[in-house]
Each structure stands twice: as C-alpha cells, then as structure tokens.
Structure 1
Amino acid sequence: MKFSLFFEMQLSSPTDGREQDIFHDSVKQAVLADQLGYHAIWAVEHHGLREYAHSSAPEVFLSFVAARTSNVRIGHGVSLTTHRYNHPIRVAERVATLDILSNGRVNWGSGKSGTRTEQQAFECDIPALSDEWLEAQRMIPRMWQDDVFEWRGKFFDIPPTQIVPKPVQKPQPPMFAACSTPSSAREAGALGLGALNFSAGTQQKLTQRVRQYRDAVAGADPIGGSVTDHYACTPMSLVLEDDREACEYGFRGARFFSQSQMKYYGSEDRPLGDLGLDTGPLPEEELERAMAARHDPGAPLTDVIGSPEVCRRRVEQFQQAGVDELILVMQMGTVPHDIVMESIRTFGEQVLPYFADHS
C-alpha cells in the first residue's frame, strides 16, 4: 500500500501573511514527506474557493516540490482540463515539462470542477463539461505520443501541430481522474484511468466500490497508451503519539475541511467573504463520538486520526477494502504547521513502515 500527502492550501481566517506562509509551509511538509519515504505529493487546482483551497497554480507549487525532493512522485490531483479552464495543449505542455524536470515522477490527474464558483468564473458551458472533459482526455495522450498532432472533434479543431516537449515516462505519465461518485469511479476504470476518491461510506461500501472499479478496469478501453489500475482515497488524517491530542486537532481540522467543502459543493451558491465556519475546539460530546466511531466497523471510513496504534488499524481497513493508495489530508485549515510536521513524521516513522514491511 502507498501513502501520500494531499494539498488544498486550506486556510482559516485568511490574511496576506498567513496565505504566504501556507505555501512555504506546504513545501516544507512535502520535503519532509520525501525524506520519510512517502509515495507522492498531490496538489489540487481550484479557483476562488477562499478558505477551502488556495491552490490555484499547482504546476508552480509542484515544480518547487520537484526541485527540492528526490524520490517522491509529483501528482496533479487534479488539473482542470475543460477548455475554459485550461486548453488541452497547455495541459500537455505543462505536465510534460514537469515530468522532464522531475526526471519522470509525474502522476497526472484531471477533472472538471463541481463548483458554481469556478464554472461561472470561467464562463463554462456547464451542460457540456463532461463531454468536453472526455474529449480532452482522449487528446492529451495523443499529444504526448504523436510527432504531429491533429484533431477534429466536437469541441476542438486543431490543425497539424508539433506539441513539445514530450514527457519522460512512456507512453505517458500515469493518468487519473477525480471521482466524486461510485459511477464516476467506474467510468474512470472503463477508460483505463486511476481513480482519485474522497473517502466516504463504510468499509463494506468502499469494498464494493473498489470491486466495481476493478471490474471496469478489467474490461477497459484505455484512452491512453496504457492502463492505470489504481484506486486511491483521501482520508482526513492526523497522527500523534498522544491519541487525544491527535483527535482534538484532527477532528477540528476535519470539521473545517468538511464545512468549507460543503459551502462550495453543497449548493449552487457562490460564497464571497468569510465562510463563517467553526474553528474552535469540538464540544466534548462531539469529540467523544468521533473518537468512538473509529472503533465501529459499521461507521463511515473517512479518517485516519489518532495514535499510531489506532491509525494502523484504520489503515488496515482501507487495505482490506482493496485501496491501493491513501492520499492523506493532513494540511487542514485549522491545524498548525508544527502539528502537521509532527504528524507527517509520526505517520512516516510509526505507521508507514509497518505496511511497507507487510506488503
């Protein structure tokens, strides 16, 4: 099983100074993860989602990470690849350049965004987003493989063009798709794409979803030159020696993550200004319920929060469900940088090796 870190650049009560700090802190967190043997660093692309995600230029952040690390893979999780966000040619060029500079360490995930904030800001044709995304997915691997690329499609009409540079990895960097539902994971599998999923549902439901994805991959008609058979989940995570301390910080961060996400994804509103989120400690009863749920096999499997011993058991549940990679969300809006660093180190030293030794 592989373990990685996920970066939204979350920030409660943003100021210019704190926003600048979060980028520098995230690079430091990525460098530590590389030193401890984590598999990958994944960064989102979002626009205008204040507090929830300040990562609007992941290609720049990931370039910094690539320059300061040696082994960790560099993941777009995801780049927005419908035309109004990013033309497919520009995506192909940027990913290939990053693959060259990182010596072949790029994982490329793609998506189309589910927020009205982004869709309307970029004047997207919302009913056409899925079809436009799919056409872009079929185009980009060809751009990496063909000496001269030409395309006549529904949304794109490109004359013969030499797309340069080409990526190091052949026939292409591993390709992934953002999957918000079981059906989108099955669609990704049928296209030969890896699946990037937020953690939701019980272990039993997760097991079913992974199995359905594998069935789809088995019959895939890949849109690229190879199949990426890989199911990843992104649980909210915090691992400290002291179980209660981990839970106090971790579940407070998880509440911020979930509340801020719902502000943008849970309705068709386009929030502006302060989101009005809960940032203080969890009430004692709420914290006790969250801590107890970690030991209930029928409870939702959405987090890896607690002491190393507790978190090893949580990871085992994901492993039993068939998940290939946990992309851990430790950088949450209310969790201080020093606590995130301690969590990265504690997980890297006391959880990650356990599964490396038993793989």
Structure 2
Amino acid sequence: MKISLFYEFPLPRPWTEDDEHQLFQHGLDEVEAADKAGFSTVWLTEHHFLEEYCHSTAPEMFLAAASQRTKDIRLGFGVMHLPPAINHPARIAERVATLDHLSNGRVEYGTGEGSSVAELGGFNIDPADKRAQWEEALEVSIRCMVEEPFSGFKGAHVDMPARNVIPKPLQKPHPPVWVACTRPASVQMAAQKAIGALSFAYTGPEALKERVKGYYDEFEAAGMPVTPAINPNILAIGGDLSMMVARTDDEALKRLGIGGGFFSFGIMHYYLTGMHVPGRTKVWERYQQAVAEDPTLAYGPGRGAIGSPNTVREFLRSYEASGVDEIILLLNPRSHEGTMESIEIMGREILPEFIERDAKAVAEKNRRLEPIIEKVEARRRPSNAPVFDETYNFGGLPTGRGGKFTAGEIPEAMAEINEGRVKAAQAEKAAREAAS
C-alpha cells in the first residue's frame, strides 16, 4: 500500500494579513519534506468559494511550485473540476501537460464533477448536467493531450473545433486518470471505465475491503477502457484518515488540537446542512461550538494516523490489510511545526516497511491482472473521434456577429511595427552613408 498526503489548505478565521501567504509557504516546506521522507504522492484538491474549509483554488499553481522543490513524489490533482464553465478541457490539457514537463513526468490526473451549491451555483452549472459535462470534458481533455491535432468535438456541453493543443504530456500517452468516488456506485463506474477510483472511505478498513473487492470484480467483469491508458487502482481518502505523529499519543493530540474533524464538518457545512453567507459566516467558529457540544467530532487515535509511531503503524497496517492500493492522509488545521516532525517520523520509522511491501505487492498485482487486463482491453471500443479534415485551416482577423470586425488593434499594432521597422532601416542606411 502506498501512503500519500492530501491538501485542502483549510484556513480557519480569524485571518491576519499574512495567513494565506504563510499557508502556501508552509505547504511547500511540508511537501519538500514529504518527498524526502518517501511519501508516494501529494494530492491537492480544487475547490472554489469554500472559505475557511478549502483555499486550494488553483492546484496547478501550487503543484508547479512543488515540482521545483521535489524529485520523486508524484503530484496529484485530487481533483480537477471538469465542468467546462470551471475548466475548459483544452485548458485542462494544457495545464496538466505543462505540469507533467515541469515535474519530469510525475502528474496524476484526478478528475471530478463538482458537488457543492457554492461551486455549481457560482459557475451557473445545473447539477443535473454535471455527470454529462464530466464525461464530455474527460474525453475532450484526454484527446487534446494525445491527438496531433485534436480533430474537434461537438457535444451537448463542449463544442470545440480542430486545434493542435500544446504541449503534449511527458507521460505517454497521458498521465494516469482518476475520478472522485463518493459512494460505491461511483467506484463501480470507475472500474467500468477502467480508470482509478479516488474513493472516499468514511467507515474504516473493514468496509473498505469490500469496496476494493467490488472495484476489481467490476473491472474484470465489465471494464471497458474510455482512455488510451487504463489505470486499475483504488485509493482511500477521507473519514478517519487525518495525520499527526509524535513521540507519544498525547503529544500528537496536543499538536493536532481539535482540527482533525474539520474536514468532515466542512463537508457537512458546505454540502449538506450549512447555510452560508459569503464573507460573513464563521465556519471555524461553528465547528468549535459543535466540538464543545460533541467532543467526538475532533478525531484522535483510532480515527486517523494520529499518535505515536507504534499507534500509527498499527493503524496503517489495518488499512493495508484491506487490499487498497493507496491511502491519502489528510492535513487538517494543525501545527505546522508538528506536521514537519510528523513527516520526519513517518519517513524514518514508519514508511520504509510499507514501501518495501508495496513494491512486492505491485509486482504480484501486475502478474495477477495481466490476463484480466487482456480481457478488459479486448472490450475497448473503436474511437468515435472524427477524422481530421486535412483541408481545414484557420487564419486572418477575427470578426464578430454579422461579420463585424472586432480586432482593430491587430492591424494598428502591425502598422506600428512596420513603421518602426522602416524608420530603423532608414536610420541604419543614413548611418552607413555618413560613415562612408
């Protein structure tokens, strides 16, 4: 089992002027330390307008910065929102491919539909359309990464003419593809499409064992690839997967404070029960009140990788026994200094044994899946992408509705450039004549 980290960049109020700046700088320090410690991947979510709960609104920016301070740790979008109003699929392809080059081929392409009223409503997306938008955008973004040129697409939600989208990713044909799965049905859907399942697990390793089995059973029985490269993997995130490691259980609890349950509380607030006034509602204050009424909302040992090395080691082994390929440990509001020491302890005392066993498990899994993958690949349907029209071209000045010319600045700029070129040539000629 691989062990990774997950960032939402929560930032509880009250805020000081430097808080957001410090949040990202601390994150970069932690990811650099995690790379040295041997964590598999750093996954970074994308959310919009979810103040206090998640300030990770431009994951590609942070991951690009992290790519320059790390060497081995993989960089995961966990996840990028695919509705075109949030991220156009061509722009997704460009950003994923660029990050893949900057990181020397370490990108994991996690995808999702979006769920909250804050986000779907903020971008005027009808929730009834979000699955269809995800499906269209996934196809188009992958085709933009692999086709030279992309031959065009006309769907209900994405309409794009032929263009050669550049750059192409370093990983060929494209980085591994994942989808966020919040319930068993979506895990089944991921297996059917032969892509990775970013599975939210809220009920512990025993229930996860059944979910893992269900994924691989469905992959074998009904997997039909929708991307050029398949990705038969399932990982677990959420629920009882917060992290804080110290020399003792008590010290770990002290450094985590009450923050361990903020992820789950934030989900309840923004997705289920909370009524939110932008820029006014105090989410952390509400969480503190809830913890005061029910202290079990704040996670401790047994409800996360929280405690001494021995406590955390046994906790992680219980998840390893579920058969899951990877778990992602959440970094909720906590002590930055404590997190840096946690990462160091994990790398020195905990991760090595899991890394060693994972290498053997991956080799065995590859042998076991080899005949299954052959069956899955045999179900692959021919691409329905249109053949590129070799006579197609574009050019000239853009015009608007009714043929109205709308880019007068271009000829004006070109005229200015030409005038400058002519004057420079005349000056050069005059200088030569004067010299002779």
Paired residue secondary structure (1:29):
helix
Task: Give 1:259 deviation, angstroms.
Answer: 1.6
Task: Give 1:19 deviation, angstroms.
Answer: 1.5
Q: RCO greater where, 1 or 2, for CA within 8 Å and sep 6 or more?
A: 1
Matched, 1:263 2:272: no
**How far apart, CA to CA, are the structure 2 residues paired with 1:217 and 1:104?**
26
Q: Counterpart amino acid of 1:180?
A: T
Pair member with larger Rg:
2
Q: Counterpart amino acid of 1:92?
A: A
1:268-319: CA deviations, max 9, x gaps? 7344321123449977994699657x2xxxxxxx522111111111111111
Q: Counterpart amino acid of 2:209?
A: T
Paired residue secondary structure (2:111):
strand
**How far apart, CA to CA, are the structure 1 residues paired with 2:300 and 2:130?**
40
**How far apart, CA to CA, are the structure 2 residues paired with 1:74 and 1:58?**
10
Aligned identity (percent) is 34
Paired residue secondary structure (2:247):
coil
Distance 1:288 1:280, change over 3 A: closer
Matched, 1:58 2:67: no
Give 2:353's aligned residue.
354
Task: Give 1:91 deviation, angstroms.
Answer: 0.3
**How far apart, CA to CA, are the structure 2 residues paired with 1:312 and 1:161?**
51
Which is worse superposed, 154-163 or 250-259?
Answer: 250-259
Matched, 1:132 2:133: yes
Paired residue secondary structure (1:68):
coil
Matched, 1:82 2:93: no
1:30-62: CA deviations, max 9, x gaps? 000011111111111111111100010111000
1:177-214: CA deviations, max 9, x gaps? 11111111111111111111233113221111111111
Distance 1:342 1:159, change over 3 A: same
**How far apart, CA to CA, are the structure 1 residues paired with 2:30 and 2:226?**
34
Q: Counterpart amino acid of 2:204?
A: T
Which is worse superposed, 275-284 or 346-355?
Answer: 275-284
Cα contact 1:190–1:216 (8 A) shared by 2 = yes
Specify which of 190, 193, 204 is matched with residue 191 of structure 1: 193
Give 2:392's aligned residue.
none
Give 1:202's aligned residue.
204
Number of matched pairs = 349
Q: Counterpart amino acid of 1:356?
A: I
Paired residue secondary structure (2:39):
coil
Paired residue secondary structure (2:90):
helix
Distance 1:290 1:67, change over 3 A: closer
Cα contact 1:263–1:271 (8 A) shared by 2 = no
Give 1:299's aligned residue.
none
CA RMSD of aligned residues (A): 2.2
Give 2:171's aligned residue.
169
Q: Counterpart amino acid of 1:230?
A: N
1:39-97: CA deviations, max 9, x gaps? 11111111111110001011100000001111111111111111110110100110001
**How far apart, CA to CA, are the structure 1 residues paired with 2:357 and 2:178?**
26
Paired residue secondary structure (2:125):
coil
Give 2:251's aligned residue.
245
Unaligned runs of 5+ in 2: 359-436
Task: Give 1:152 deviation, angstroms.
Answer: 2.3
Matched, 1:220 2:223: yes
Task: Give 1:250 deviation, angstroms.
Answer: 3.6
Give 2:8's aligned residue.
8
Q: Counterpart amino acid of 1:227?
A: I
Report the structure, 1 or 2, having the larger strand content.
1
Paired residue secondary structure (2:258):
helix
Distance 1:225 1:279, change over 3 A: same
Cα contact 2:291–2:298 (8 A) shared by 1 = no
Give 1:155's aligned residue.
157
Paired residue secondary structure (1:109):
strand
Distance 1:101 1:326, change over 3 A: same
Task: Give 1:7 deviation, angstroms.
Answer: 0.8
Give 1:115's aligned residue.
116
Cα contact 2:258–2:299 (8 A) shared by 1 = no
Paired residue secondary structure (2:161):
strand
**How far apart, CA to CA, are the structure 1 residues paired with 2:313 and 2:90?**
42
**How far apart, CA to CA, are the structure 2 residues paired with 1:285 and 1:102?**
44
Relative to the length of structure 1, the TM-score reads 0.91
**How far apart, CA to CA, are the structure 2 residues paired with 1:232 and 1:114?**
20
Q: Counterpart amino acid of 1:89?
A: A
Give 1:297's aligned residue.
none
Distance 1:86 1:282, change over 3 A: closer
Report the structure, 1 or 2, having the larger helix content.
2
Give 1:317's aligned residue.
318
Give 2:42's aligned residue.
41
Q: Counterpart amino acid of 2:103?
A: S
